[in-house]
Structure 1
Amino acid sequence: MAAAQKQERTPETRLQRVLVIACGMIAREILAVKQQLGLDHIDLTCLPAEYHFYPDRIAPAMDKAIEQARSDGYRHIFVGYADCGTGGLLDRICEKHGVERMAGPHCFAFYQGLEAYRKVEDADMMSFYMTDFLCRQFDAFFIKPLGLDRHPELVTDYFGNYEKLIYLAQTDDPALDAVAENAARMLGLVYERRSTGYGDLVPGLARAAPPAL
């Protein structure tokens, strides 16, 4: 839907708007913040959520997406990613195009807020994070790709070094809580729930202000 909205804009209209090019894992949350803050100047398009597993694909895909957005008439672009495992390569793309991205190492950090994350980063070293998206897509993003539906004995191989599952909850949804709790039980991990809301995504998107006319 976001991509379709982008295509419906005329080049003249796009000059006055901000395009957020984001990870598909946070699309729902960006739209929620947009509505919450009344950020009507923002358009959204997303790269595939599966790049969460292939961070080497993020920077080159973002490079192409920004070039396409410029060609479509967008001068004002905001990158809806943290570093997300690119090892600084995404920052090089942002610098190349003169655009800003979400601050922080990954969405698990900016959902908690970078200041709060720094205080728990070391203690959470052996923790497996889940978000609303990952709860909704737990089977599609973890169970099936890792083959745990066919070989549940692999749980120890994949998750044996974790001690805790921490659900970073963007919303209060009992169904998602149940998924996270069941996941912790299945993986043999201690369960913790942190109600984060949208964290630094709110000020981050708020800074993507509409250009002055």
Structure 2
Amino acid sequence: MSVNPSDDALTRDGLAPDRRQGKILLLACGALAREILALKEANGWDHMALTCLPAIYHIQPQKIPAAVEAAVQKHRADFDEILVVYADCGTGGLLQAKCAELGVEMVAGPHCYAFFEGNDRFAELAEEEFTAFYLTDFLVRQFDAFVWKPMGLDRHPELRDMYFGNYTKLVYQAQTEDPALTEKAQACAERLGLAFERRFTGYGDLKSALQTKA
């Protein structure tokens, strides 16, 4: 198992547990793997193991509850506790209901954009940013895989107005200070014909959620 998984592997395959028989398993979306690994390393959270489901479920949210259930059942005997590091992520409350049924805790929030921003702050901004399209570090790096190709814009760029005509800006929520990622995020905004805004969020409520298990 690589400690520095590629974005393509995280999108397609997820990530196997980095330690068995640990105390706490973080069962997360592959889109959060790099951030969680960085937090684990920076804080010495060696008692936490990480496994990730494929990040491509971001655009197939109907698959998330069943996949989480299967992973919990697979790994439950190896850990004292499992924390599901997903927000609702488009499941319409089904993931929260499944976690309650399984007796496992889940990170609070409607989606990763909210908990990176901070759930309370995101709720405040939502009233004035309902025409904003959000990207995180991972989604900037995987823009073609998660936005451009699934929406058919690589084959039919004329669909851009149909999909994004009601958006006014692209907000890049930066978890890291990376000029290359900022440049790529700005290029994504230009491809979509949107104004560009960068906000450094760091890890937001993701860090706070994991700190409760420290």
Structures share fold, TM-score greater than 0.5: yes
Amino acid at match of 1:178: E
Contact 1:39 1:206 in 2 (8 A): no
Q: How does 1:194-205 map to 2 (within 5 A)?
A: 194-205=199-210
| Partner SS state of residue 3, structure 1 | coil
Structure 1, unaligned runs of 5 or more: none
Contact 1:55 1:86 in 2 (8 A): yes
Match of 2:79 among 74, 82, 89: 74
* Counterpart Cα distance in 2 of 1:38 and 1:103: 23
| Residue of structure 1 equivalent to 2:178 | 173
* Counterpart Cα distance in 1 of 2:17 and 2:99: 24
| Residue of structure 1 equivalent to 2:16 | 3
CA, structure 1 residues 140+66, in 2 after alignment: closer, same or farther (shift >3 Å)? same
Q: How does 1:75-90 map to 2 (within 5 A)?
A: 75-90=80-95
Structure 2, unaligned runs of 5 or more: 2-14
* Counterpart Cα distance in 2 of 1:176 and 1:196: 14
| Partner SS state of residue 204, structure 2 | coil
Match of 1:185 among 166, 184, 190: 190
| Aligned-residue RMSD, C-alpha | 1.3
* Counterpart Cα distance in 2 of 1:124 and 1:201: 21
Q: Does 1:158 align with 2:166?
A: no
* Residue 5 of structure 1: how far off its partner (Å): 2.5
| Residue of structure 2 equivalent to 1:149 | 154
* Counterpart Cα distance in 2 of 1:131 and 1:37: 22
Q: Does 1:24 align with 2:23?
A: no
| Residue of structure 1 equivalent to 2:212 | 207
| Residue of structure 1 equivalent to 2:60 | 54
* Residue 75 of structure 1: how far off its partner (Å): 2.8
Contact 1:23 1:48 in 2 (8 A): yes
* Residue 114 of structure 1: how far off its partner (Å): 1.2
* Residue 4 of structure 1: how far off its partner (Å): 5.3
- Worse-superposed segment, 114-123 or 142-151: 142-151
Kindly, what percent of the aligned residue pairs are identical? 53
Question: CA offsets per residue over residues 125-159 of structure 1, 9 Å max, x none?
Answer: 11100000011111222222222222211111111
Answer 1 or 2: higher relative contact order, Cα 8 Å, separation at least 6: 1
**Structure-1-length-normalised TM-score:** 0.90
Amino acid at match of 2:24: V
Question: CA offsets per residue over residues 46-85 of structure 1, 9 Å max, x none?
Answer: 11101111111111111111011124x2231000101111
Q: How does 1:95-110 map to 2 (within 5 A)?
A: 95-110=100-115
* Counterpart Cα distance in 1 of 2:209 and 2:44: 14
* Counterpart Cα distance in 2 of 1:164 and 1:61: 33
* Counterpart Cα distance in 2 of 1:208 and 1:160: 43
